Amino acid sequence: MVDGQFESADEDVSRVRLPNIKEGEMFGIADQLLGASKIKVMCEDGQSRVGRIPGKIKKRMWIREGDLLIVSLWDFQPDKCDVRFRYTRTQAVNLSKRNRVPKNLDIF
């Protein structure tokens, strides 16, 4: 019985947000910080885009080069995106172990 509790607790710890494909979200890797709340992101479809870091995320957490992100593409300018979520290093490694991260972005 104790072993079952540890397995369920382990599953709960690794629950993280995944990109919502219907809303145009995808994985990306922070490539280069550009300043003025902008960042260059390498997206899972192979394109490099300029991402905007909204104030809500900018105030709560720092984004560094090499971080795994969820980005949302702009409808009217497909070469730009918004950063929606940043994974911690531990979360990114767990996603990589479970094969949730696309192979072209898997640097963890």
Q: What is the pLDDT of residues 10-59, one digit of tens each?
A: 444 558 889 888 888 999 999 999 989 999 999 999 999 999 999 888 88
Question: What's the rounded Cα separation, in Å, for the pair 78 and 64?
Answer: 23
The answer to pTM > 0.85 is no
pLDDT for res 82 = 94
Question: What's the rounded Cα separation, in Å, for the pair 56 and 54?
Answer: 5
Element (H, E) at 62: none
pLDDT for res 48 = 95
pLDDT for res 16 = 83
For the cut 90, the answer to whether the pLDDT of residue 105 exceeds it is no
pLDDT for res 35 = 86
What phi and psi values does residue 18 have, to the nearest 5 degrees?
A: -115, 155
Q: Which domains does the chain have, with CATH numbers?
A: 18-105 (2.40.50.140)
Q: Give the residue, 104 or 69, on which the prediction is more confident.
A: 69
Question: What's the rounded Cα separation, in Å, for the pair 43 and 51?
Answer: 10
Residue 35: which region, alpha, beta or left (left: phi > 0; alpha: psi -120 to 50)? left
The model's pLDDT over 52-95, given as tens digits with 9 standing for 90+, comes to 999 888 888 889 999 999 999 999 998 999 999 999 999 999 99
Question: What's the rounded Cα separation, in Å, for the pair 98 and 14?
Answer: 10
pLDDT for res 12 = 42
